[in-house]
Amino acid sequence: MHQKIRKGMRDLQLLKRDPFIALLIMFTALSLIIFVIYPLLSVLVKSFQTMDGVFSLANYNRFIRFKYLRNALWNSLSVGVITGFTGVVTGYLAAFTIARTNIPCKRFLHVLFILPIISPPFTSALSILMLFGSHGLITRGVLGIRNFSIYGFKGVVLSQIFTFAPVAYLTLRGVLDSLNPTLEDAAMNVGATRMQTFMKVTLPLSLPGIASAFLVVMIESLADFGNPLVLAGSRFPMLATQAYLEITGSFNLPLGAALAVVLLLPSVTAFVIQRYYLQKKQYTTITGKPVASSSKLVSRSAGRILYFFVTLFAILILMFYGTITMGAFTSVWGYDFTLTLKHFIYAFSVGLDTIKDTLIIAILSTPVSGLLGMLIAFMVVRLSFPGKASLEFTSILNFAVPGTVVGIGYILAFNKPPLILIGTLSILVLNFVFRYIPVGIQSGIAVLRQIDPSIEEAARNLGADGVTTFRKITLPLIAPAFFSGLVFAFVRAMTAISAAIFLVSAHWNLLTVQILSQVGSGRLGVAAAFSVILVGIVLFAIVVINRLVPGKAGGISAIQIQEEI
């Protein structure tokens, strides 16, 4: 106890010697309180109110009484578990194949596998509708089936596996790359078979990463909004979409807030387990010694099977994106496959302002998110001050919170004095900044921990204050993490939907909201055209950022920083 008090006094003395750093810490903490904690508390408070503002448990009683609402929770959890399990199996097989075999076209396959991550989260739902819907290319065009419905459980699970298996792949690819392959060599050299080596060495060392990947995919599935909104249907309610429909359809904001709180509980619980429990169980097998391996863990026949699997997965990805591209150039999907540019003409004529709005919002939020992320990472790694652990947790909390909850929170928090932001550009920019700074923070922390602090101490010993040291010494050294954070922040600002759909207005709209609107109106060709435009903009931006810092930002591979979360 006395040691903690003495440490706190030393921290306060250090802050007094550098008042500008103290002001930055206070500004950052205040910003997180206003734009992260306050909206979440607003949702919690609203959930205990009636439509008249009277405090009550009526909303939670209604959730317990109505089977339809309870089913929404059960459906979300069951889809999350199934998506997590199937996504992890798919991701592990793909990661193991890339990391432990010598198949051709590894770079191409890697880029292809992470393509769903840089696309709108409901792109797979659009593809599934075009392939397996009532007028789908496969169901009606190839198989001649007319009464098949893709809506409900099967459609949502299929779309989410396609969307989130790449997230598991990225996480597990990092895990397998970090495992020293000489351990597998040693096991085989003492007589273990390939299967015994895999079951007793490779798989056990991968288990913490597998569990982490499962929880991450489950969190993503629970928070998913676009795929269920397109494919769930009225007979298969899910919490994220049901909360949205209660607010926009029934205008019952308190019940929508209560459903958001119910959704928040499993998401944050899984996040805390993944973040603070499983990370302590990661196994380190990189020792700094040479790790070149001649291991033949995968036999030739097993290699062929794995190569067939990853090739099949790659073909599915190409088929999904090929379908969207073809749909964008097709006159009437399912009836008239004549090539046309009318969907793009319509998209640019009707949606040009939306494209401009999306770019403006992404361009404004991206650098702010990147700089704030690096600043918080610097505070967490290099500074010691009271409440540092709380600041770090709060800064990454929004990444675990479903977008539906964040959107509802921003509506409640900033629709009244002193901050009336609803309908403005500011609320969209602030939403993206504070929702996606966690990736920049985590990548910054990872890089800073690899940099010898004596470099910064030398600058301070020569008279530089904390801000000058950060600007001239630290920031250049963490440039790779900074630009990686920029890539992710830009991608998410362009492709996000779940929180933003609550915050768009007649003055500021987003491409993702426009795409969902076109799908809801049955104009799949126009939705496909908007999707192609959006993916093209994102890929172009990644190339530009990669050119700005060649060999550092890592281009599309920069998206791998997501596994840090």
Q: What proportion of the chain, given as a percentage, has pLDDT over 70? A: 88
pLDDT computed for residue 18 by the predictor: 65
Per-residue pLDDT tens digits for 379-411: 888 777 888 888 888 888 877 788 889 999 999
Residue 30 has pLDDT above 90, yes or no: yes
Lowest mean pLDDT: which of 138-152, 306-320, 399-413, 496-510? 138-152
Average pLDDT over residues 502-514: 90
pLDDT computed for residue 281 by the predictor: 57
pTM, 2 dp: 0.83
The CA-based diameter of the chain, rounded to the nearest angstrom, is 79
pLDDT computed for residue 193 by the predictor: 85
pLDDT computed for residue 10 by the predictor: 54
Residue 562 has pLDDT above 50, yes or no: no
Residue 59 has pLDDT above 90, yes or no: yes
CATH number of the domain enclosing 37: 1.10.3720.10
Residue 208 has pLDDT above 70, yes or no: yes
pLDDT computed for residue 288 by the predictor: 45
Residues 6+ positions from 83 with CB-CB distance below 8 Å: 157, 160, 161, 164, 217, 218, 221
Per-residue pLDDT tens digits for 417-426: 888 999 899 9
Per-residue pLDDT tens digits for 99-136: 888 888 888 888 888 888 888 878 888 899 888 887 78
pLDDT computed for residue 17 by the predictor: 64
Per-residue pLDDT tens digits for 495-506: 888 888 899 988
pLDDT computed for residue 427 by the predictor: 94
Distance CA 87, CA 80 (A): 10
Q: How would residue 359 be classed by pLDDT, with cut points 50, 70 and 90?
A: very high
Q: Is 273 within a domain? A: no
Distance CA 106, CA 72 (A): 40
Average pLDDT over residues 349-360: 92
Token couple for 325: 């591209």
pLDDT computed for residue 290 by the predictor: 43
Find which of 256-270, 288-302, 394-408 is predicted with most confidence, using mean pLDDT: 256-270
Q: Is 173 within a domain? A: no
Q: Is 367 within a domain? A: yes
The number of beta carbons lying within 10 Å of the beta carbon of residue 505 is: 13
Distance CA 205, CA 200 (A): 9
Q: Is 556 within a domain? A: yes
**Domain hosting residue 457, numbered range:** 1-41+341-565
- Across all residues in the chain, what is the average pLDDT? 83
Domain count, the chain: 1
What is the full DSSP assignment across 460-503?
Answer: HHTT--HHHHIIIIIHHHTHHHHHHHHHHHHHHHHH--TTGGGT
Decide which of 15 and 109 is more confident. 109
Q: Is 144 within a domain? A: no
Q: How would residue 286 be classed by pLDDT, with cut points 50, 70 and 90?
A: very low
Q: Is 333 within a domain? A: no
Q: Is 289 within a domain? A: no
Sign of the CA dihedral running 15, 16, 20, 23: positive
The pairing of beta strand 415-416 with beta strand 330-332: unpaired
Q: Is 186 within a domain? A: no
